[in-house]
Structures are given as C-alpha cells and as structure tokens.
Amino acid sequence: MAKVIVDVMPKPEILDPQGKAVTSALKRLGFDGFSVRQGKRFEIDVDGELTPERLDQIGRAADTLLANTVIENFDVRVEQ
C-alpha cells in the first residue's frame, strides 16, 4: 500500500499566530534563535496501485479540502 504525504503550511507572508506562540514559548524555555512556523501533515494510505491519476486526485483533494489555498500552500509527495 502506497503512502502519500500532504504538507500544508501557511503562506510565507501570512501571519501564523500558532507559530508565533511556539516561537516565543521556545524562547522562554531557553531555546534561543529559533523562528517557527506551524503547519500540518496528512498521511494518506492509498488502496491499490498509486497511479499518476491517483496522485493527481490527491492533489485535487488537497486543493479542495486539506489546504485553504487562500492562506495556505501545500505540497504532495510519495513516501518512499
């Protein structure tokens, strides 16, 4: 069974309040010099063979549901 990963990240110029909160929490805990942006990762198990059509389908699913493309970018890759 193939596994496909979809990474979703807030677009670089969009404010990321969660990432900002993590950044300042890290700083408070002594982890200096880190700047964090927080996204999400989807792991998708695909039934049967992973054809280019199936991969394309996942791209469309990501575009429709997994990412809010007004404020987020996404990246689809096959896990080796």
* Binding region for another protein (CB under 8 A): 10-17, 20-21, 24, 68, 70-71
- Nearer of residues 24 and 57 to another protein, judged by Cβ: 24
Residue the block writes with tokens 């080796």: 80
C-alpha closest to that of 69 among 77, 57, 59, 54: 59
User: What is the nearest approach in angstroms of another protein to the Cβ of residue 70?
Assistant: 5
- Nearer of residues 2 and 38 to another protein, judged by Cβ: 38
- Nearer of residues 16 and 76 to another protein, judged by Cβ: 16
User: What is the nearest approach in angstroms of another protein to the Cβ of residue 11?
Assistant: 6
**C-alpha–C-alpha distance, residues 71 and 74, integer Å:** 10
**Is the Cβ–Cβ distance between 76 and 5 less than 8 Å?**
yes
> Judging by DSSP bridges, how do beta strands 2-10 and 72-78 pair with one another?
antiparallel
User: What is the nearest approach in angstroms of another protein to the Cβ of residue 13?
Assistant: 4
